[in-house]
Structure 1
C-alpha cells in the first residue's frame, strides 16, 4: 500500500515522534488532524542511539500514539518521516522499513497504520546484542533513567 494507491493511513509513532519528544515538534506540529494514545501488538522496542527501534516479535506490545495527518500535508509528512527514518523502498541500507500493521486505540477499536520497524540487518543485530525497552514504552523508559 502506498500514497499513490490511496493508502492515506494514520502513522503509529512510538519514540522521538511522540508528543513531548524532540522530533514531534520538528515533524508533526501543525501537520496533524489528531494524535491519540494507541498500542501495537506483535512488536517490541530496543534501545537505540537516542531513539528506539521496533522489532517484530509475536508476544510484544508497544505503547505510542496514532497520528492522523492533515490531508494537505500527508504526502509531504510521509516523505519527511521516510527521510528521518532513513527509509527508501527496497534499499538494503535502510535502518527502518515502513510497513502496515494493526494498531489498537485507547477505546479498544482497531485500525491499520503505517509503522517504522527495524530493517532486517538492524533487527538481527538487535536480537543478538540489543537491550529491550521494558514494557514497550519509550517515554516511560526515558522517565525512569
Structure 2
C-alpha cells in the first residue's frame, strides 16, 4: 500500500473524495475506478481553487483568496470495506506517491468542500503537484467556470 493510504479522520472508512474531472459520472475513469465501490455520490463545490485543462485531464490548483466560482465536482463516499482499496487505486490513478515526493503528478490533501445544500464536508482532494501548478499558472488553459463536464460539452459541441 502506498504511503499515506488508509489515513483517515477517525471515522470508519475515512474521508470521502472530492472528484472534479475524469472521475465524475459519465467520464472515462468513473466506471473504471468507482463502479461498485461507492456508497454515495453528491454534487459539491470546492472554493479557493481554480481548474485548468491539462493534457488529457483537468488539474485543480489551490488559489485561496481568488474571486472565482471554485471547482465543481462530486463528493464520493466509499462503500464499507472498500475505502482502503479505493484510496490506493485513486492514489495510483492520480500519480500520487507520498507527501513531498517529487514524482507526484497530484498531491492528496484534506480540504472542506460544500455540498449542494451548503453544508461543509471534509474530503480528500487531488491538487496539481507544485511543479505542475507552476507550469499551469505560466501557460495553462484556465476553465473559467470550474466545471470540467461543462467544459468537455463545450469542446465536444454538445
Q: TM (normalized to structure 1)?
A: 0.95
Q: Where is the strand percentage greater, Structure 1 or Structure 2?
A: 1
Task: Give, in whole Å, the separation in 2 of the partners of 1:28 and 1:95.
Answer: 20
Shift of 1:93: 1.3
Partner of 2:154: 144
Q: Which has the higher helix share?
A: 1
Kindly state the Cα deviation for residue 2 of structure 1 after the two structures are TM-superposed. 6.2
Q: How does 1:1-145 map to 2 (within 5 A)?
A: 3-4=6-7, 6=10, 8-58=14-64, 59=66, 60=68, 61-89=70-98, 90-145=100-155
Structure 1 gaps of 5+ residues are none
Residues 18 and 65, structure 1, Cα contact 8 Å, conserved in 2: yes
Q: 1:79 to 1:122 in 2, by over 3 A?
A: same
Deviation at 1:71, TM superposition (A): 2.1
- Kept after mapping to 1: 8 A contact 2:109/2:124: yes
